[in-house]
Structure 1
């Protein structure tokens, strides 16, 4: 039995003996909703375990994707090199990964310009109409976590790993 269900069952049993009708149950949150800034390399420099520079957007997105079974090794996935953010959509296409203009939760938003010429990537954590919420590192917050809601037309493309 999952811990949340065990807690709910225990609360229900306890309230039946105590005569109370109030039961507070933990919410069923997604990894992203629970996680927020769960990035493991805060305050560190060097190269992460996926082959990207720590505390940059590519490293954070590799971290978030690893939570969903997508694991980079030496900044490569399916034999293709994913270097700077502005190369990710082309590397994904070469690897046979779907790239298009439609965001979905779990997709990677790609900006081919910006980031000092290196582009930018972010993890899409919510889609609501024409708006998306992205989680990212090193965008508005220097070498740190951020979350923002933007129009879905702002990124160049979306990668669907």
Structure 2
């Protein structure tokens, strides 16, 4: 296995990151697609509509629902911002990372729409990209220290 573009030259570390990445992808696939079909499927194409709903009407949601929908969508995607740049230092370039992460997240949301699992919500993409960017900024700082 070639890790020519990995941040680290340590092969064992790179293999470990790759294995963690595969496990992460499998877990995310289950969370995002393994819920079955929903006959009452919902879409949201208006940015910040769902986010605003959860913030303005917080009293109407239990803490678990509120936290999962706002912070869960951020926390679950932090690993993308860590794993991608560590395995390929080309993703340490902000523009390439953002374009790639957006393409990945949009693909996931579109697949959910086509398969009618989960829900297509532009706010999920916004929150997911925030999480990915948090991971990216942490990785960027770490990679500077390692050099």
TM (norm. structure 1) is: 0.26
Kindly indicate which of the two structures has a greater share of residues assigned to helix: 2
Higher relative contact order (CA 8 A, sep 6+): 2
TM (norm. structure 2) is: 0.28
Which structure: larger Rg?
1
